[in-house]
Structure 1
Amino acid sequence: MNFQSVGEALIRPGQLLADRSTLAAVARWTQAVSEADGVCVAHLAPGVDPCELAAELSARGLRASPNHVFRGQPLFFGGPASRPFPVEPIAYRPARNRSAATVAVLDTGVVKHPWWSGTDWYSRVGPEDADAGEGQQAGHGTFVAGMLARLAPGVSLRVRRVLDGDGIGDEASVIRALHRMREDPPDVINLSFGGHTFDDRPPPLLNDAIAALSDTVTVACAGNTASDRPFWPAALPAVVGVAALEATGRQRAAYSGYGTWVDACARGDWLESSYLDLGEFGGFATWSGTSFAAALVSGTIAAGAAAEPAKEVVRRLLDAEDARHFPDLGVVVPVSL
């Protein structure tokens, strides 16, 4: 795991994300540049601090940031959000009809599972987007995919692996995955991961990549931080940030992030879904975390998007006059599985 801690933020050492117009300004600090799918990664000379350089460039009106590290969000050790637990098989008959709605799942990938055996979308999942089944968060993407499949039967999932088996990924990989969706945007994107930035400001290139998908609803988890510190990408203005409620739905789950930047909340504790068929697990698990509260909201939007644009669905969901609200948690999205 190649990353370093800067305060409570994590970054890739010696890497700066920049757009093309910024590259000339960082040339004298740069050893090499890699460019792919709309993002440039400048590999800096030894001793150059990417956070200090990003702050200097931002003050000059240029778009740059360190390559922040993101993590999937059951990672809250000592609470129910820390790990999955095995459960008995869950009865579910997948719909064979293909919904008009498409949900992109940027996560750890997925594994083969009876719930989507024979579906068109799973037949398009290549080896690069399959879950390797190893690591502390292996099965995270499979769990999210199962929740979406149950909430929006027949939905077409577009799986992109941006996290490894330990739930670790970075900003550059996420931006690249988002750029590749521009030609054929999904209705909804689920991002059940995130992190802090070194300066608590929005990461500019990630913000640009999400904002460019203007007809897509992007949903992200508020993080298992138990704090109101902005958690990205959930805190971006173009993103529906989702916090977690405890099992009764009456109050915030103790681990959940919260704040004025949170838009919605849903149950996050002891949810059941598809999982790996490995060891004590027979393809099913119960798990807790803001990751899965976000998936509940994404699935609710996807279900509605079968009949109308996802943007309209989310507008009604967040602006409903009769909806319950919690301070610093937003609109309560009542969902049951």
Structure 2
Amino acid sequence: MRARLVEPLPDRPALIRPAELLTTAPAAVARWTLSASPVHPPTQHTRPTRHARAVHHVRLSPGVDVLDLVTTLRDRGHPASPNHVLAGQPLYFGGPQGAPSPAPAVPYEPGPPSGVTIAVLDTGVVPHPWLMPWYRDDAADTPDADGDGGLDTQAGHGTFVCGLILRRDPGVRLRAVRLLDSDGVADEAALLRALTRLCAERVDILNLSFGGYTFDDRPPLGLAEALAGFPAVVACAGNTGRSRPFWPAALPGIVAVGALDGNVRASFSAYGPWVDACAQGVGLASSFVEFGEFHGYATWSGSSFACATVVGALARLCRELPPTQAVRHLLSDGRRIPDLGVSIA
């Protein structure tokens, strides 16, 4: 994984792609640029703004310091940011807590179609019996992408997330999108590209069980606008055990989900006033890959999976309510836990 750990603010590390940035002013960095391409052009699905401009992904010449260049661009009035790494494992600030464990088969019965479509941006899925109606080769998870004979760090994560949603609402239609690699890693540019492609489809709820920090704790460039085209977005708060904003969950309008262990906050769960809801995130059982000691099922813990549980609960409400109303209803009814929002049973 190409990544650089930066810490311009004490005790506030972030991961960025070296020699890459995002900006709405590619001409301003032309002298340092190897290539530039738009990753989220304004469309009819984008939130209306007075001066909507495309976000470009810029690859820089060797030796250019990304953070220095971002500061220079901002000083000149140009929106700019490093291309931050987004991920789903504890080492990289979010996703599953620890490793999955093999589990016996979990009971599951498909339900009648509900008409609700959920897009899951994750590691993709395997052709598990629960997921065959929605399996696509272009969203296939690869359990051992590096060919070392071992299960990759986050292989099966998307399959696990999709299974949790189906267990909560077996009538939904799933749209699995492979964004993260089998070690659970992607970046902001890849996310913006995926959202641009997906916004032309019908999606009622977007499940984002990953995230990361930004180097200055500002919201990621262009991401709020890219997500505004989706009726409901639910994202995990991260396994950081901290109150520091974790993106995209901390964006306004996104349902940020923390994890419970019984009736209290799970020790690994992020928390804070930006967290809207919480659900059980410890020892959950779901669909998984067939690999080694795993036979299609596992138990796992993390805010990623609390997020999927909340998405399943929201999907059931969407049977009767439009997604935006369903979100309001979900967040207005239930026990409130300080810095974790509403508890979703």
TM-score past 0.5 threshold: yes
Q: Distance in 2 between matches of 1:257 and 1:89?
A: 31
Query: Alpha-carbon deviations, 1:36-73, whole Å to 9, x = none?
Result: 55352111122222223223333444332111101114
182 and 10 in structure 1: CA distance in 2 versus 1, 3 angstrom threshold:
same
Displacement of 1:34 in angstroms is: 3.1
Gaps of 5+ in 1: none
| Secondary structure at the counterpart of residue 204 of structure 1 | coil
Partner residue, 2:143: 133
Q: Which residue of 1 aligns with 2:253?
A: 238
* 1:217 alignment counterpart: 232
Matched residues in 1 for 2:185 and 2:116: separation?
28
Q: Which runs of structure 2 are paired with 1:167-316 in the superposition (5 Å)?
A: 167-211=184-228, 213=229, 215-246=230-261, 248=262, 250-316=263-329
> Paired residue for 2:177, among 154, 160, 168?
160
Structure 1 stretches (4+) deviating beyond 6 angstroms?
none
**Counterpart amino acid of residue 139 in structure 1:** G
SS in structure 2 at match of 1:136: coil
Corresponding residue pairs, total: 318
C-alpha distance in 1 between matches for 2:282 and 2:92: 13
Kept in 2, the 8 Å contact 1:73–1:291? The answer is no
Contact kept? 1:76, 1:82, Cα under 8 Å: no
Q: Do the aligned partners of 1:74 and 1:83 also contact (CA within 8 Å) in 2?
A: no
Q: Give the distance between the partners of 1:70 and 1:188, measured in 2 at CA.
A: 20
Distance 2:69 2:253 in 1: 26
Answering whether residue 14 of structure 2 is matched by residue 9 of structure 1, we say yes
Residues 1:104 and 2:119 are matched in the alignment = yes
Q: Deviations over 1:176-233 (max 9, x none)?
A: 111112222411001100010000110121222112x1x5211111111111111000
1:27 is paired with a residue whose SS is: helix
The residue identity in structure 2 corresponding to 1:309 is P
Give the alignment of 1:14-163 within 5 angstroms. 14-19=19-24, 22-36=25-39, 38=41, 39-73=55-89, 81-95=97-111, 97-117=112-132, 119=133, 121-122=134-135, 125-126=136-137, 128-134=138-144, 135-163=152-180
Distance 1:319 1:59 in 2: 42
Q: Is the 8 A contact 2:85 2:186 kept in 1?
A: yes
Q: Which residue identity lines up with residue 29 of structure 2 in the other structure?
A: V
Aligned to 1:330: 341
Contact 2:283–2:301 (CA<8 Å) still a contact in 1? yes
User: 2:330, 2:234 → 1: CA distance?
Assistant: 13
Structure 1 CA distance for aligned equivalents of residues 285 and 301 of structure 2? 9
- Given that 1:102 and 1:155 are in contact with CA atoms closer than 8 Å, whether structure 2 keeps it comes out as yes
Distance 1:73 1:188 in 2: 23
- Judging changes above 3 Å, is the alpha-carbon distance between structure 1 residues 160 and 223 closer, same or farther for their aligned structure 2 residues? same
For residues 324 and 261 of structure 1, do their structure 2 counterparts lie closer, same or farther at Cα, with a shift above 3 Å needed? same
Consecutive unaligned residues of structure 2, counting only runs of 5 or more, are 8-12, 42-54, 145-151
- Equivalent-residue separation in structure 2 for 1:58 and 1:261 (angstroms): 26
What amino acid does structure 2 have at the position aligned with 1:107? Answer: D
- SS of corresponding position for 2:28: helix
Could you tell me which amino acid in structure 2 is paired with residue 105 of structure 1? V
CA distance in 2, matches of 1:32, 1:70: 22
> Helix, strand or coil: the match of 1:312?
helix
TM-score between the two structures when normalised by the length of structure 1:
0.90
3-state SS of 1:274 partner: strand
- Secondary structure in 2 matching 1:85: strand
Residue 94 (structure 1) shift? 1.6
Which secondary structure state, in structure 2, belongs to the residue aligned with residue 115 of structure 1?
Answer: coil
Q: CA deviation at 1:319?
A: 2.1
Structure 1 residues 50 and 278 mapped into 2: Cα distance closer, same or farther (>3 Å)? same
Distance 1:15 1:167, change over 3 A: same
Provide, for residues 16-50 of structure 1, a one-character-per-residue CA deviation record: whole Å limited to 9, x for no partner. Answer: 1123xx11111122122134553521111222222
Change (3 A) 1:259 1:55: farther
Q: Aligned pair in 2 of structure 1 residues 55, 298: CA closer, same or farther (>3 Å)? A: farther
CA separation in 1, counterparts of 2:188 and 2:274? 20
SS of corresponding position for 1:84: strand
Residue 152 (structure 1) shift: 1.4
